[in-house]
């Protein structure tokens, strides 16, 4: 039965809180965690274990909890919450996990009966056959039963990130952390003190091991310290904040829970992820107790001794008034004293150590209080129905004695919490006196203080801190620590105890979270997994969400005994961040939903919305895909837009395409090197379609180059290629040709671009810009003009991507909407139609124009797509030139660009389909079908009334008129097709240049 | 995430930079005289040593300038940063650690955390 400790200052017993656990209501106090609340109400059974579905209870009082993992039903149904950490609020609804139909009666317990089958690594040896069973039976069943909790629902995460740049971080506001912080007050350092609990203190609040500091009672010293630190200008405090990662270089990640003990307010961020860059890291994050393996050491009612002690002092609840204490070391003496001080008596004290190692203080205390004392003894096992009811003790005469009890407190030793230290790539060393690993050599600027550095002697705390922090010019404050019990740490090596009876079903656990027994370790070694990293993965030992914090060192001890090796030779597995489970919500921060990626819009975006544009994403840009009139489908819209453009005129918002200005003394030479085209003899105020290659000869980007003079060029690029083209130009200018005087700059967002084309586009342009002569003689194809208009500078280039007469208009964003609307005003009489990217793609395909990324994929050269004419033959050098004559790029059977039409004009060819020689795909494909090429673009042309496609096919240049087949996504009948020229409309370009 | 001391902007997070691979690989001048194999080595091959490595970085989310660095790839420590027009440091100026932070573990032990007992 549990009892209360009314002296606990951290629990507000005036404020009652009611919670619901598995449908039943319980009362507890403000400040309780779920675990302390349940213990207060004598609830011992909290979950069913992962594999065997064994009944489990609360084992610890902290982040290292392996059993007490629950689902929070209120709010958004958060799974896998540690009951030992989560503070309750009024009305919290909690459900236990991994059991059906109930915690008390779980059908999954059948796994426990079948446990000989489920030994270590069983999944490597089972579920192999019969054929087909994996897909239909095993996998669905395993998927259903695996996992612990159920996923959250209706949850919109709202976490934030916060950045810190400080001189010193102190991890842990326990005894050493607080003393170190006090010594740093009013020094020149910026200090960040991080504490995972809601209160300072560490061992000071979790036990009564320390009586007084500098003559002050602990409570008062803590209050004074907190006040001093809060008022210190150079010290910042973070509470409820857990450091989860220690990365390179002196970079820490910490997770702060903003709603401890409160219901989440959906208007505020619930978690803050702190990203901290520091010069020095002081690790004062303390130690974790470890257990001992014995038969049924997982029954509800078995708990770590220091956790029991923490429940008394930190949470004001004595989980059981008469527990049995089993230990192999001296740290449990303070637990014994805490119980006696509250008027409770342990039912027995079992110490594995020899008579001569046992402290006189301890034997005297036990004798004085008439507590049964078993020296040089160990617990053989415990028994009971879903809870501890009796404990079997193997006494110093090797006789088994059974006693009745409902709680067993175990202490197998103390481990410095070296997770963060090893994450920082520090080296640890085995200490034979402490029987644990402790930090040895730092790799980064790491200092360890207190129990994490292996210093268990509180009397030496002040000296340690003064020495290790001396170089920081800390304040010379002398701290006198008075302790309550014996200070010398003594321990006897004991990892597991012997079972009295040999049985297939008697289990002693080495990993509670993943249900790994000591027998599994032995089996793994027999099977040859004797390296610790192999053993970990084969048995899943320490791979749970608790990372085996209370047990992984024990497993090393057992392995060392089995292999007859020193523990330092066995080594440890690599501790990886995060230290404790970290939600994706915290990692994502605010970069979620509409804030995941910036959305770029053109200056006339609002006009597109008004005209019912349906949008598509091109990189980060929102571009009109098509404009929907009345109730038409996309197909109808695109056909309408395409037809109208070739009949009269259409206009596209092309502002997203990249624009780069290239200026300087050596601009001409630079442009000749960057592109395949020759620019030397190019006339000023003329334009040229240009290609940019990679050094491997493959097409990287295309665009139109306008030459204003030999020292001033303007390039366009593809929408998504713009940043890369600019970056590549800068790279070459800075690293390869630093002697060039050339400056490049992006003007993509400084100008809007309108592309108008169609037989009537010239008429419309003449009306809008009535000072300019648009006749063929005065404004030839591929030339441009710059002039003043609407009080700003406008550039008009005669070019088009549609094969009709067309113009590209460049104007500043401020004037863009006005000009756009003016164009429509004058275009109304000519039925000017706005069109989107789909029509743009269709119209260019009718002319056989390629799209970078559609017809090219990084493996296509200019020769492959009939662009040999774009290569300047007389140019000595340009990026990619040498690669065009490599044996592989000069092959005759390379994939080359062709057009494809179906023989039956009613059929439609799909983009991405393969060109093959067989009419029908066989039902069972026994040999690979030869791949001849694939369809790169395909559309239904409204101007020709049948499907037109562009394709890359091996040796295409010599295949005009050849007949092949194209696969479909619809069955095995391939479409008969013919290879034609990719230019489907106006192959002599009469419409374009008239 | 390491800290990189941009010679133009000062110390910044690694996430502000883009790595540019091996440094001091000059574009061959008369590539028409190179065999396909020699040219292919320039286009496709770059060194990837364990230990002292001369590489390039560009401050993409900052000044957008390129610079060079000498980094020990086994410990990720940046030994020297120098501008493109500054003198290239000699390899003898650096001690080549060729060590992982915990020293070389026994082959096959997978054990990188425990200090080797001498």
pLDDT tens across A610-632, in order? 999 999 999 899 999 999 999 99
* Substitution target from A245, A279, A416, A427 for chain B, most B beta carbons within 10 A: A427
Q: Which chain A residues are within 8 Å of B26, Cβ to Cβ?
A: 736
- Rounded to whole angstroms, the Cα distance separating A146 from A59 reads 23
Q: Which chain B residues are within 8 Å of A730, Cβ to Cβ?
A: 58, 64, 66
Helical residues (DSSP H) of chain B, grouped into ranges:
36-44
Q: How confident is the model at residue B115 (pLDDT cuts 50, 70, 90)?
A: low
Mean pLDDT in residue range A948-958: 95
Statement: residue A863 has pLDDT above 60:
yes
Count how many residues are written for chain B: 118
Q: Which among A249, A422, A731 has the least Cβ separation from residue B2?
A: A249
Contact of A309 with A207, CB cutoff 8 Å: yes
Contact of A51 with A109, CB cutoff 8 Å: no
What string of DSSP letters covers A445-498? SEEE-GGGGT---GGGHHHHHHHHTGGGT-------EEESS--S--B---SB--
Q: Which among B101, B108, B115 has the least Cβ separation from residue A429?
A: B115
Residues 6+ apart with CB under 8 A from A665: A711, A740, A741, A742
- Most confidently modeled of A274-283, A542-551, A581-590? A274-283
pLDDT at B109: 47
For residue B7, what are the β-bridge partners?
Answer: none
Q: Which among B56, B103, B117 has the least Cβ separation from residue A568?
A: B117
pLDDT at A367: 95
**DSSP 8-state assignment for residue A104:** S
Q: How confident is the model at residue B108 (pLDDT cuts 50, 70, 90)?
A: very low
Among A229-238, A502-511, A632-641, whose mean pLDDT is lowest? A502-511
Pairing of strands A373-374, A348-351: parallel
- Rounded to whole angstroms, the Cα distance separating A585 from A273 reads 10
Flag if B111 and A571 touch (Cβ within 8 Å): yes
Mean pLDDT in residue range B18-31: 94
CA distances from A16 to A44, A73, A91 (A): 21, 21, 11
Three-state secondary-structure class, residue A319? coil
Collect all residues from A whose CB is shorter than 8 A from any CB in B: 247-249, 251, 277, 422, 425, 427-430, 437, 440-441, 443, 531-534, 566, 568-569, 571-575, 695-696, 727, 730-731, 734-736, 738, 877, 881-883, 886-887
Residues 6+ apart with CB under 8 A from A890: A884
Mean pLDDT in residue range A878-883: 95
Contact status of B38 with chain A (Cβ, < 8 Å): no
Contact of A846 with A943, CB cutoff 8 Å: yes
Contact status of B47 with chain A (Cβ, < 8 Å): no
Mean pLDDT in residue range A473-488: 83
Two tokens, residue A940: 């239904």
Contact status of B112 with chain A (Cβ, < 8 Å): yes
| E strands, A113-230, in order | 160-165, 168-171, 191-194, 210-213, 216-217
* Substitution target from A528, A589, A735 for chain B, most B beta carbons within 10 A: A735
- Rounded to whole angstroms, the Cα distance separating A264 from A834 reads 49
For tokens 């008129």, name the residue.
Answer: A961
Q: How confident is the model at residue A397 (pLDDT cuts 50, 70, 90)?
A: very high
Q: How confident is the model at residue B112 (pLDDT cuts 50, 70, 90)?
A: low
Mean pLDDT in residue range A819-843: 97
Two tokens, residue A447: 């200092």
Two tokens, residue A73: 């039903």
pLDDT digits (tens, 9 = 90+) for A300-330: 999 999 999 999 999 999 999 999 999 999 9
Flag if B111 and A443 touch (Cβ within 8 Å): no
Mean pLDDT in residue range A440-446: 91
Statement: residue A117 has pLDDT above 80:
no
Two tokens, residue A635: 């197909």
Two tokens, residue A214: 């500098």
- Rounded to whole angstroms, the Cα distance separating A915 from A977 reads 9
Radius of gyration of chain B (CA): 18
pLDDT digits (tens, 9 = 90+) for A73-92: 988 888 999 999 999 999 99
What string of DSSP letters covers A836-879? -HHHHHHHHHHTT---TTTT--SS--TTTTT-GGGS-TT-S--T
CA distances from A83 to A532, A566, B93 (A): 31, 37, 56
pLDDT at A155: 79
Task: Look up the ipTM and state it.
Answer: 0.91
Helices A305-315 and A333-341 sit at what angle, rounded to 10 degrees? 40
Q: Which among A247, A730, A883 has the least Cβ separation from residue B64?
A: A730
In the sheet that B52-58 helps form, which strands lie side by side, from edge to edge? B18-22, B52-58, B66-72, B77-82
For tokens 């010193």, name the residue.
Answer: A168
Q: Which chain B residues are within 8 Å of A425, Cβ to Cβ?
A: 101-102
Flag if B111 and A572 touch (Cβ within 8 Å): yes
Statement: residue B118 has pLDDT above 60:
no
Mean pLDDT in residue range A562-583: 88
The candidate with the shortest Cα–Cα distance to A735, out of B99, B16, B23, is B23
Among A386-390, A505-509, B108-112, whose mean pLDDT is lowest? B108-112
Q: Which among A440, A696, A734 has the least Cβ separation from residue B115?
A: A440
Mean pLDDT in residue range A183-208: 95
* Average of per-residue pLDDT values in chain A: 93
Contact status of B13 with chain A (Cβ, < 8 Å): yes
Segment (H or E) for A318: strand A317-318
Statement: residue A13 has pLDDT above 70:
yes
Contact of A976 with A904, CB cutoff 8 Å: yes
Among A142-151, A585-594, A754-763, A906-915, whose mean pLDDT is lowest? A142-151
Question: Could you report how far apart the first and last alpha carbons of chain A are, in Å?
Answer: 99
Q: What percent of chain A has pLDDT over 70?
A: 100
Residues 6+ apart with CB under 8 A from B7: B67, B81, B82, B83
Of A672 and A567, the one with more pLDDT: A672
Flag if B114 and A572 touch (Cβ within 8 Å): yes
- Rounded to whole angstroms, the Cα distance separating A765 from A806 reads 10
Mean pLDDT in residue range B75-84: 92
Q: Which chain A residues are within 8 Å of B113, Cβ to Cβ?
A: 422, 427-428, 571-575
Mean pLDDT in residue range A680-686: 96
Contact of A918 with A966, CB cutoff 8 Å: no
pLDDT at B103: 53
Single pTM value for the model: 0.88
Nearest chain A CA: its distance from B32 CA (Å): 6
Contact of A862 with A925, CB cutoff 8 Å: no
Contact of B89 with A547, CB cutoff 8 Å: no
Flag if A574 and B60 touch (Cβ within 8 Å): no
Q: Count of alpha carbons within 13 Å of A74, Cβ hemisphere only?
A: 16
Angle at A130 between CA A126 and CA A136, to 5 degrees: 90
Among A34-38, A84-88, A136-140, A674-678, whose mean pLDDT is lowest? A136-140
Nearest chain B CA: its distance from A428 CA (Å): 5
| Residue A925 CA from chain centroid, whole number | 40
For tokens 């950490």, name the residue.
Answer: A85
Nearest chain A CA: its distance from B92 CA (Å): 24
Flag if B85 and A738 touch (Cβ within 8 Å): yes
Contact status of B24 with chain A (Cβ, < 8 Å): no
pLDDT at B113: 64
Q: Which chain A residues are within 8 Å of B68, Cβ to Cβ?
A: none
Flag if B84 and A249 touch (Cβ within 8 Å): no
Statement: residue A485 has pLDDT above 80:
no
Mean pLDDT in residue range A699-713: 97
HEC sequence for A247-267: ECCCEEEEEEECCCCCCCCCC
Mean pLDDT in residue range A403-430: 94
Among A314-318, B80-84, B92-96, whose mean pLDDT is lowest? B92-96
Segment (H or E) for A229: helix A218-231
Mean pLDDT in residue range A666-692: 97
* Inter-chain CB pairs, A–B, below 8 Å: 89
Burial string for A820-831 (b: 16+ CB within 10 Å, else e) reads beebbebbeebe
* Substitution target from A161, A167, A248 for chain B, most B beta carbons within 10 A: A248
For residue A560, what are the β-bridge partners?
Answer: none
What string of DSSP letters covers A119-145? -TTGGGTSS--STTHIIIIIHHHHHHH
pLDDT at A146: 77
The candidate with the shortest Cα–Cα distance to A520, out of A122, A147, A59, is A122
CA distances from A858 to A74, A864, A953 (A): 52, 12, 16
- Rounded to whole angstroms, the Cα distance separating A111 from A66 reads 19
Contact of A573 with A537, CB cutoff 8 Å: no
């Amino acid at each position: 039965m549990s009892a209360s400790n009314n002296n606990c200052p951290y629990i507000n017993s005036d404020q009652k809180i009611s919670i619901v656990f598995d449908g039943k209501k319980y009362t507890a106090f403000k400040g309780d965690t779920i675990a302390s609340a349940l213990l207060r109400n004598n609830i011992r059974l909290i979950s069913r274990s992962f594999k065997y579905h064994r009944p489990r209870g609360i084992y610890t009082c902290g982040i290292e909890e392996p059993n007490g993992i629950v689902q929070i039903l209120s709010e958004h149904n958060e799974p896998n919450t540690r009951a030992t950490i989560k503070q309750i609020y009024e009305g919290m609804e909690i459900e236990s996990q991994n059991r059906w139909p109930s915690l008390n009666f779980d059908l999954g317990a059948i796994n426990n009966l079948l446990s000989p089958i489920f030994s270590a690594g069983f999944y490597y040896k089972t579920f192999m056959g019969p054929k087909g069973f994996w897909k239909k039976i095993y996998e669905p069943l395993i998927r259903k039963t695996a996992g612990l909790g159920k996923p959250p629902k209706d949850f919109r995460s709202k976490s934030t990130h916060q950045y810190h740049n400080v001189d010193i971080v102190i991890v842990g506001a326990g005894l050493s952390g607080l003393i170190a912080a006090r010594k740093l007050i009013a020094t020149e350092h910026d200090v960040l003190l991080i504490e995972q609990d809601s209160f300072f203190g560490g061992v000071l609040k979790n036990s009564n091991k320390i009586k007084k500091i500098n003559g002050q009672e602990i409570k008062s010293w803590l209050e004074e310290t907190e006040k001093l630190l809060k008022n210190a200008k150079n010290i910042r405090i973070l509470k409820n904040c857990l450091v989860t990662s220690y990365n390179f270089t002196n970079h820490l990640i910490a997770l702060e829970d903003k709603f401890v003990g409160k219901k989440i307010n959906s208007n505020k961020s619930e978690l803050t992820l702190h990203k901290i860059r520091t010069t020095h890291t002081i690790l004062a994050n303390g130690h974790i107790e470890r257990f001992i393996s014995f038969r049924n050491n997982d029954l509800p009612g078995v708990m770590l001794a220091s956790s029991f002690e923490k429940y008394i002092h930190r949470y004001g609840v004595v989980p059981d008034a008469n527990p049995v204490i089993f230990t192999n070391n001296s740290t449990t003496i303070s637990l014994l004293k805490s119980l006696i001080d509250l008027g409770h008596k342990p039912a027995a004290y079992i110490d594995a150590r020899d008579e001569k190692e046992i402290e006189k203080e301890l034997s005297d205390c036990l004798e004085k209080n008439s507590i049964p004392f078993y020296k040089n003894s160990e617990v053989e096992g415990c028994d009971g129905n879903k809870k501890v009811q009796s404990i079997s003790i193997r006494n110093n005469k090797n006789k088994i004695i059974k006693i009745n009890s409902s709680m067993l407190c175990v202490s197998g030793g103390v481990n410095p919490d070296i997770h963060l230290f090893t994450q920082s790539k520090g080296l640890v060393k085995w200490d034979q006196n402490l029987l644990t690993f402790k930090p040895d050599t730092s790799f980064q600027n790491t200092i360890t203080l207190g129990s994490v550095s292996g210093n268990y002697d509180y009397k030496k705390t002040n000296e340690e801190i003064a020495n290790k922090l001396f170089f920081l010019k800390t304040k010379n404050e002398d701290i006198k620590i008075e302790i309550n019990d014996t200070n010398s740490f003594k321990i006897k090596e004991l990892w597991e105890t012997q079972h009295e009876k040999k049985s297939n079903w008697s289990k002693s656990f080495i990993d509670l979270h993943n249900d790994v027994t000591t027998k599994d370790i032995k089996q793994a070694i027999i099977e040859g997994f004797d390296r610790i990293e192999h053993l970990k993965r084969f048995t899943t030992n320490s791979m749970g969400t608790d990372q085996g914090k209370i047990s992984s060192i024990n497993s090393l001890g057992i392995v060392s005994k089995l292999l007859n090796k020193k523990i330092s030779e066995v080594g440890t597995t690599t501790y990886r961040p995060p230290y404790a489970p970290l939600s994706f919500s915290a990692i994502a921060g605010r970069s979620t939903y509409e804030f995941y990626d910036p959305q770029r819009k053109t200056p006339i975006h609002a006009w597109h919305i008004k005209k019912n544009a349906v949008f598509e994403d091109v990189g980060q840009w929102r571009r009109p895909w098509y404009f929907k009139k009345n109730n038409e489908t996309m197909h109808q819209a695109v056909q309408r837009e395409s037809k109208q453009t070739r009949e009269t005129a259409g206009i596209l918002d092309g502002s997203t395409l990249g624009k780069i200005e290239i200026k300087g003394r050596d601009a001409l030479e630079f442009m000749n090197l960057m592109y395949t085209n020759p620019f030397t003899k190019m006339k000023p105020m003329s334009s040229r379609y240009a290609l940019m290659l990679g050094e491997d000869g493959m097409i990287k980007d295309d665009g139109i180059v306008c030459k204003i003079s030999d020292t001033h060029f303007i390039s366009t690029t593809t929408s998504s290629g713009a940043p890369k083209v600019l970056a590549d130009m800068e790279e070459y200018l800075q690293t390869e040709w630093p002697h060039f005087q050339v400056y490049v700059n992006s003007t993509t967002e400084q100008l809007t671009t309108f592309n108008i084309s169609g037989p009537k586009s010239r008429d419309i342009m003449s009306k809008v810009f009535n000072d300019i002569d648009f006749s063929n003689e005065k404004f030839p194809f591929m030339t441009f003009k710059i002039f003043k208009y609407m009080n700003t500078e406008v550039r008009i280039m005669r070019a088009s991507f549609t094969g009709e007469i067309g113009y590209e208009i460049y104007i500043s964003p401020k004037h863009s909407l006005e000009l756009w609307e003016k164009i429509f005003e004058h275009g109304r009489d000519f039925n000017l139609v706005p069109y989107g990217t789909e029509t743009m793609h269709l119209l260019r395909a009718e002319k056989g124009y390629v799209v970078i990324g559609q017809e090219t994929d990084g493996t296509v050269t200019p020769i492959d797509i009939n662009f040999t004419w774009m290569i300047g033959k007389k140019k000595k050098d340009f990026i990619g030139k040498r690669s065009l004559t490599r044996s592989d790029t000069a092959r005759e059977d390379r994939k080359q660009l062709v057009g494809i039409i179906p023989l039956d004009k009613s059929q439609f060819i799909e983009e991405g389909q393969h060109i093959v020689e067989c009419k029908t795909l066989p039902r069972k494909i026994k040999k690979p079908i030869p791949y001849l090429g694939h369809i790169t673009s395909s559309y239904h042309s409204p101007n020709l009334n049948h499907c037109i496609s562009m394709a890359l096919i091996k040796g295409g240049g010599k295949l005009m008129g050849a007949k092949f087949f194209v696969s479909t996504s619809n069955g095995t009948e391939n479409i008969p097709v013919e290879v034609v020229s990719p230019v489907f409309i106006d192959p002599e370009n009469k419409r374009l240049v008239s | 995430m390491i800290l990189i001391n941009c010679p133009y902007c000062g110390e910044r997070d690694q996430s502000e930079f883009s790595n540019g691979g091996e440094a001091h690989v000059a574009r061959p001048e008369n590539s028409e005289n190179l065999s396909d194999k020699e040219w292919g080595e320039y286009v496709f091959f770059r060194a990837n040593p364990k230990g002292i490595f001369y590489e390039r970085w560009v401050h993409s989310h900052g000044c957008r300038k390129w610079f060079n660095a000498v980094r020990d790839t086994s410990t990720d420590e940046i030994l020297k940063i120098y501008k493109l027009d500054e003198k290239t440091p000699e390899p003898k100026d650096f001690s080549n650690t060729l060590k992982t932070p915990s020293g070389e573990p026994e082959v096959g032990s997978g054990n990188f955390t425990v200090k080797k007992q001498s």
